[in-house]
Structure formats: C-alpha cells, structure tokens
C-alpha cells in the first residue's frame, strides 16, 4: 500500500462541519445486530435504523455492525438513534482517517485501518458505549469474521465479558491481520534481494522505492494504532473494565512488534538501495576495465604496424632498413608478442584480468540460512 498523496474529501472547503456526504459508488449499508450473554446468542439483520431502539434496551451486550457506507440517510439515522456526535459520523463516512481514539462522554470513538491488501486498506470505525458496540466496515472485508465465529461458538470469555472486551477482540483481529501481510512484504523484499545480486536492472530501483513507500505507509498506520492503544491504556476511564486492560496491553505489544519488524524491513530495503548503486558502479568499472585492457593492449601494436606501413623511400639505407631484413617480419611479430606479454603481466598484477563481477548467489543463500 502506497501511503496516500492525495486527499479523498468529498466536502468542499468552507462547508458546514458534520456534513455526511457518502460515496455514491460505495455498497449500501447492511445492519446486523448481535445480542449475547453467556447463555444466549441472537443474530439478526435489521432493515432500518428505527428498529435499533428495541435491541438496545435488552440489558445484554449488543453488537451493531454496519457493513457498507453508501447511504447517508441510514448513517445519520443510526447516529441519531445512538445519540452520536455529528463530527464522529463525518469521520465514519470520510474513510481516509488515520487510526485514532476520540473520547466522548458516553462512548469511545475508535478508528482503525485494516492491513493493506492488494494496495488497499479499509477503515473500521467503532463506537464503544456502555452496553453496545457499534462498528462500521467500509468494505466487505473478512477481518472481523473470526470474532463473529468465536461469539457464535460458545466460548466462555468473549460471551461472559462486556462490549469493552468485544471492542478489544475487534481491535486485536484488525492488528493480527498485519502479521501475514508483513510476511508477504518479506517475500517481496527477499525476491528483490535475489534480483539485485543477479542483475541489478534499472527497473529495480523503482521496486525498491515502492517497497520503501509501502513500508512507510504500514508504519504510519500502525504507529497511529499504537498511539490509540497507548491512549486507552493511560486513560481507560470507566468505559473499559480493569480486566480488559492486560488484553489491550497485549494488543499494544503487538503493534510494537509490527513496528519493529517494519523497521527491520526498512533497514534491509535501504541496504538494497546501497547494494544496487554499488552494483551499478561496479559494473561500470568492469566495462571500463575491458575497454582499457583491450585498447591499451592493441594501441602500441597498431602504432607499430602503422610504422612499417609507411612509404619512405627505401633507396636510403636510413629509411626503415628493418623492412629489408631477412627475418624482419618474424622479429617484429616476436617484439609484438613480448609487448603483449608484458602488458598482460601488468594487467594481471593490477588484478584487472580477474572478472570480479556480480557476487554469486550461492554464497548469499548460505548467509541467509542462519541469518534471520
């Protein structure tokens, strides 16, 4: 994922704050309500926000999930039904938010971003109230499905705990999704590593910069997520039970691990750039050496043969008498062979005859085996 260099705002500068302007191409919202406790579990698709009120007063933890943000009317009605601040709702539909935590008196507003998948991240917004959890998914993503499964299956902890623990489970699911993505990035980095050692083609510098940029994008999202969790840990307020805190600390730890891995990957990619530039420079050196060896070997010889191609008047004994010698030609060839041998010796001493080309791949593999 390339971190964005363009804004994606649909509101015009100077517009009144809190305008809910949705992307007409976005999927229409589907509202699912899950009510659960240790004994009970009910899952229902709700047709209109007006039906939400009935589900909220059951005294049981309630998870309202909205998938798709394509209808401003529906989003606004949900907001009114749960008494949400209009600025928070605006952030829900403007899906270019960075991960953040906003504390409102009656709920926490949490924005998350999923790990980049095929170049995209999608935004997941959570409102964590006293007895309900409201989540908005930008796209039809599968990140939250395992949590839904765990709720359906009768698992003690998740069904026994409140919506704050459910909120933790969703955050945890979003963060854990980064780990396989990082492994994909590691694959691409190692493929670029192999490539730089084999050929160092000009296209590679773009590949390296793309990796660098994507890593920066991941780093930025995860760093914001870490700050979000840090803020929750420092000021848990009374919306988060003390028993949930170690779990959030575990999440926080995962974000720190992700950042550690991303930083290591960034280091490797930076190193790749140096190796690439050095390989380009070395190849240049090799090209120049070939030219120099060839040219300097033949330049004196070519001069000599040119010398004896001159048409001086042979009637004077001073003018190139060598040409008249009986063994003139063999002697000259011998002379040229000696010159050539001397030059070869000098080049060999200078180490120019060995082809210290691109470093082989085999050696590299050995390093990696016990490397990581």
**Binders of its own copies among 50-89, rule CB under 8 A?**
85, 87
CB of 240 to its own copies, least distance (A): 15
DSSP bridge pairs for 120? 117
- Name the segment binding its own copies (CB under 8 A); options: 23-31, 35-43, 231-239, 272-280: 272-280
CB of 62 to its own copies, least distance (A): 21
CB of 47 to its own copies, least distance (A): 28
Q: What's the rounded Cα separation, in Å, for the pair 131 and 333? A: 101
The interface with its own copies within residues 283-302 (CB under 8 A) comprises 283-285, 287-292, 294-296, 298-302
Fill in the DSSP letter of residue 242.
Answer: G
Q: What's the rounded Cα separation, in Å, for the pair 347 and 259? A: 51
Indicate whether 328 belongs to the interface with its own copies (CB under 8 A). yes
Indicate the residue among 55 and 148 with the shorter CB distance to its own copies.
148
Q: What's the rounded Cα separation, in Å, for the pair 196 and 158? A: 48
Indicate the residue among 55 and 67 with the shorter CB distance to its own copies.
67
CB of 277 to its own copies, least distance (A): 7
DSSP bridge pairs for 109? 102, 127
Indicate the residue among 19 and 56 with the shorter CB distance to its own copies.
19
The interface with its own copies within residues 83-122 (CB under 8 A) comprises 85, 87, 90-91, 96-98, 100, 102, 104, 118-120
Indicate the residue among 206 and 238 with the shorter CB distance to its own copies.
206
The interface with its own copies within residues 122-181 (CB under 8 A) comprises 143-147, 149-150, 155, 157-158, 172-173, 176-177, 179-180
The interface with its own copies within residues 199-218 (CB under 8 A) comprises 199, 201-203, 205-206, 209-210, 212-213, 216-217
Indicate whether 339 belongs to the interface with its own copies (CB under 8 A). no
Indicate whether 19 belongs to the interface with its own copies (CB under 8 A). no
Indicate whether 32 belongs to the interface with its own copies (CB under 8 A). no
- Name the segment binding its own copies (CB under 8 A); options: 14-22, 26-34, 71-79, 229-237: 14-22
Please check whether residue 38 is in contact with residue 156, taking contact to mean a CB–CB distance below 8 angstroms: yes
Q: Which of 24, 39, 306, 362 lies at the binding interface for its own copies (CB under 8 A)?
A: 306
Indicate the residue among 53 and 288 with the shorter CB distance to its own copies.
288
């Amino acid at each position: 994922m390339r971190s964005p260099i363009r804004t994606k705002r649909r509101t015009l500068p100077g517009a009144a704050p809190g305008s809910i302007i949705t992307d007409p191409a976005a999927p229409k919202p589907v509202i699912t309500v899950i009510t659960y406790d240790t004994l009970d579990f009910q899952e229902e698709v709700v047709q209109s926000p007006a039906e939400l009120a009935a589900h909220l007063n059951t005294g049981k933890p309630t998870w309202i999930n909205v998938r798709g943000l394509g209808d401003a009317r529906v989003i606004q009605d949900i907001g009114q039904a749960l008494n949400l601040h209009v600025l928070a709702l605006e952030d829900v539909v403007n899906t270019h938010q960075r991960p953040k935590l906003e504390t409102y008196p009656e709920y926490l507003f949490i924005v998350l971003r999923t790990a980049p998948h095929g170049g995209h991240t999608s935004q997941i917004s959570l409102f964590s109230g006293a007895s309900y959890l409201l989540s908005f998914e930008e796209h039809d993503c599968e990140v939250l499905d395992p949590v839904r499964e765990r709720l359906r299956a009768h698992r003690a902890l998740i069904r026994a705990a409140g919506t704050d623990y459910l909120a933790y489970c969703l955050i945890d699911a979003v963060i854990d999704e980064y780990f396989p993505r990082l492994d994909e990035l590691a694959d691409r980095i190692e493929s670029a590593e192999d490539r730089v050692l084999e050929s160092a083609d000009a296209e590679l510098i773009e590949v390296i910069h793309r990796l660098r940029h994507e890593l920066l994008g991941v780093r930025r999202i995860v760093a914001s997520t870490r700050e979000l969790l840090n803020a929750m840990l420092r000021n848990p307020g009374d919306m988060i039970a003390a028993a949930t805190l170690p779990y959030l600390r575990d999440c926080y730890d995962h974000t720190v691990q992700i950042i550690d891995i991303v930083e290591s990957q960034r280091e490797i990619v930076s190193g790749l750039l140096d190796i690439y530039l050095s390989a380009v420079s070395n190849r240049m050196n090799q090209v120049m050496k070939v030219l120099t060896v060839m040219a300097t070997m033949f330049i004196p010889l070519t001069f000599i043969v040119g010398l004896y191609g001159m048409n001086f008047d042979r009637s004077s004994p001073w003018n190139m008498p060598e040409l008249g010698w009986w063994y003139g030609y063999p002697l000259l060839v011998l002379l040229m062979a000696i010159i050539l041998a001397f030059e070869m010796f000098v080049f060999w001493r200078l180490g120019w005859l060995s082809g210290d080309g691109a470093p082989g791949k085999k050696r590299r593999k050995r390093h990696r085996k016990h490397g990581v």
